[in-house]
Amino acid sequence: MRIEILGSETLGVRGLSCFIRIGGVKTLIDPGLALGYTRYGLHPHPLQAVYGDITKHEIVKSWEKATDIILSHLHGDHIPLPNPNPFQLGISDVINLNPNATIWIKPKKFCSDTELVRFAELRKAFGDQIVEMSVGEADGVLRFLGPFSHGYESKTLVFATAVEDFVHTSDTQLLDR
């Protein structure tokens, strides 16, 4: 198994995107990054903007190669967005790059109102490539776990992905609530 971290908080971008290869299965998890256009009245630091561009490039390269693309939840730092700002990844950056990949998405019944809008946009853009995950569902080496809480202050639910022994628990607090 080979695991590549494409973007993370410590690399200067919001999100935790990774690319995992195991045999013929190439899995891209949470292909997004979110740098706000402004935060506290400031644009991202120039170094952050550069890391954001590098991360976008790596996500696009991985999207082209992936057999499976996982969207654990539909926050902007985990998905390509329909109307991104210049510092975010957009649907237009990846649409038609890989029509053979399966895009596993958080089930609609677990989506918040904001996520439902994004769900519809993703479905419109990627059509039949979109498949809703099922709890405990296994597809070859992939298994979906959850839903788990995004945190005490959030009602968002997140799905984890197990790729054999590797478990990606994006933004989950694993709380008993």
Q: What is the pLDDT of residues 54-63, one digit of tens each?
A: 999 999 999 9
Instruction: Determine the pLDDT at residue 45.
Output: 87
Q: Tell me, yes or no, whether 176 lies in a domain.
A: no
Instruction: Determine the pLDDT at residue 154.
Output: 65
Q: Tell me, yes or no, whether 60 lies in a domain.
A: yes
Assign residue 150 the CATH number of its domain. Answer: 3.60.15
Place of tokens 């237009």: 92
Instruction: Give the number of other CB atoms < 10 A from CB of residue 114.
Output: 12
Domain with 8 in it: 2-168
User: Whole-model pTM?
Assistant: 0.90
Domain count, the chain: 1
Q: Tell me, yes or no, whether 175 lies in a domain.
A: no
Q: 131, 70 in Cβ contact below 8 A?
A: no
Q: 98, 63 in Cβ contact below 8 A?
A: yes
